[in-house]
Amino acid sequence: MTSWWHGLSGSAKFRLYSRATLDMALVVVVAAMAITTGGWWSIALVVAGIAAVGAVEARPEFALSSRPEPREWVLPAATVTLTGVWLAAVVVGRLAGSESTVAQARLTGTYVAVLAMFSIVAFLPHRWWTVLGLSLATGLAFWKSPASGLITATVTFVFGGFVVGTTLLTLWGLRVVEELDRAKAIEADLQVAEERLRFARDLHDIVGRGFSAIAVKSELAAALSRSGDTDRAVTEMDEVKTLAVESMSRMRELVRGYRGIDLRGEVAGARSLLSAVDCRLVVEGDPAHIPARYHEVAAWVVREGTTNIVEHSSATSAVLALGGAGMSLRNDRPHGPPGERSGLRGLAERLAPLGATLATTASDDEFVLEIHWEKK
C-alpha cells in the first residue's frame, strides 16, 4: 500500500481524497437519515444511499487513471434505484391514512431527492434547473396543503442546493490541481526543448563555419588536382587538415563547455529544480569540503541524483551531504527499487577512473545514493 500510494501523482492523490470525502459524507448523511426516519423506511434509505455511493464511484472525474474501467451500468442502475425509492415514498404518502406514515414517507422522499442531487444531479449540464424542478416535484408529490407543499419544496431546494454546491467546489478543486500538474509537465518539456535549441545554436555557430570552409576548400583542391595544379591542391588539402583539426578542437571545447559543470552551481540548480516539484532539499556540509579532483564528478552526482529524484520518486524532502571522504543524496517516497538506470551506470563509469565508488540503497520509504572516495 505504501508503494502504491507513493506511486500516485499529486492530482491522483487529491482525486482519491475527494472521492473518499464525498463517499464518507454520503455515508454519514444516509446514517443520519436512516436514524431520523426509522422502521422500514430506514432500509429504503440505506438502499438509496448505496445507490448514491455507487453513482459517485462511477464518475470518471474521480478515476485514478486516465483509462478507467467502463462501468456504464452503474449510473443507470443508481438512477433507477433512487427513482424507485422516491416513487415508493410518494405512493405511500398519497395512499396512507396514518399521519405518522405520511410524515415518514414525506421525509424519506425529501431525503432521497437530496441524495439524488448529491450523487447524480450535481454532474448534469443544467444542474440548477434540475434541482429546482426536483424540489418542486417533491413538494407537489407530497402536497397535502399549500403550506406543506411549499415547505417540502423549500427544504428540498435548500439542502439540495447546498450538497450540489459542495460537489461543484470539489470538482473545481480537482480541475485546479490537474491544471497545475499539466503546467509543471509543460514547463519541464519547454526547459528540455530550450536546452536542445541552445546546444544546437552553439554547435551551428561554433562548428558550422569550420565545416563549411572544409567543404569549400576540399572542392577547390579536387578542382585544382583535376586541372593539374597539384602544388596548390596539396596546399589546399593541408589547410583542410588544419581546419579539420581546429574544428574538432572547437567541438571538443563546445562539448566540454556544455558538459562541464560547477558543483556550487549544480547544488543551487538542484535546490531550484526540486523546489519546482514541491521537494525541499537540505544541504549538509559545504562544496569546499570536496577535494578539488572530485569537484566535477561530484557536480555530476548532484545533477544525475536530482534527475533521478524528479523522474523516479514523489519526494517531498531530500538531503545532500558533502564531505571530504564522500557524499550522499537521499530522498523519501521512491517509486520502487532503482532498477537499471543508465544515468547511475554512467556515474559509476565516471567515478571508476578516479578510484571512487557508487552505492545505492532502496526501500519503500527511502532511496540513498552514496559516493565514496579516498580522502587526500
Cβ atoms 54, 72 nearer than 8 A: no
Q: Is the backbone of residue 355 left (phi > 0), alpha (psi -120 to 50) or beta?
A: left
218 and 332 share one domain: no
173 and 120 share one domain: yes
From CA 294, how far away is CA 292, in angstroms rounded? 5
166 and 29 share one domain: yes
What's the pLDDT at 350?
A: 78
298 and 368 share one domain: yes
Among the listed residues 308, 370, 307, the one whose alpha carbon sits nearest the alpha carbon of residue 338: 308
Dihedral sign (CA 58, 62, 63, 64): negative
From CA 98, how far away is CA 85, in angstroms rounded? 20
Cβ atoms 337, 362 nearer than 8 A: yes
Q: Pick from 227, 259, 291: which residue ends a domain?
A: 259
List C-alpha distances in Å: 361 to 38, 62, 285, 368: 58, 35, 21, 5
233 and 279 share one domain: no
What's the burial of 164, exposed, middle or buried (CB within 10 Å: 0-12/13-18/19+)? buried
107 and 251 share one domain: no
Among the listed residues 291, 275, 366, the one whose alpha carbon sits nearest the alpha carbon of residue 329: 366
Q: Pick from 181, 210, 243: which residue ends a domain?
A: 181
Question: How many folded domains does the chain comprise?
Answer: 3
What's the pLDDT at 113?
A: 92
In b/e form, how buried is each residue of 310-320, taking b as 16+ CB within 10 angstroms?
Answer: bebbbbeebbb
Q: Pick from 211, 243, 259: which residue ends a domain?
A: 259
What's the pLDDT at 39?
A: 78
Contacts of 172 (CB under 8 A, 6+ apart): none
From CA 247, how far away is CA 239, in angstroms rounded? 12
Residue type for position 274? L
What's the pLDDT at 370?
A: 92
Domain that holds residue 21: 2-181
CATH of the domain at 224: 1.20.5
Beta strands in 206-324 (DSSP E): 280-284, 317-322
pTM metric for this prediction: 0.51
What's the burial of 237, exposed, middle or buried (CB within 10 Å: 0-12/13-18/19+)? middle
Cell of 311: 523522474
CATH of the domain at 301: 3.30.565.10
From CA 94, how far away is CA 105, in angstroms rounded? 9
Question: What is the full per-residue pLDDT of the chain (376 aa) written as tens digits?
Answer: 677 777 777 777 887 888 788 888 888 888 888 888 877 888 888 899 889 888 888 887 776 655 555 567 888 898 899 999 999 988 888 887 777 888 888 888 898 999 899 888 988 888 899 999 989 998 888 877 788 788 888 988 998 899 889 888 888 888 888 888 888 878 878 887 877 776 776 666 566 656 767 777 788 888 888 888 888 888 888 888 887 887 777 777 766 665 556 788 888 878 877 775 678 999 999 888 888 888 888 888 888 888 788 778 888 999 999 988 899 999 998 876 655 554 677 778 778 888 889 998 888 889 999 999 876 5
From CA 172, how far away is CA 210, in angstroms rounded? 57
Residue type for position 18? S
289 and 194 share one domain: no
Strands ordered across the beta sheet of 326-332 = 280-284, 317-322, 326-332, 366-372, 357-362
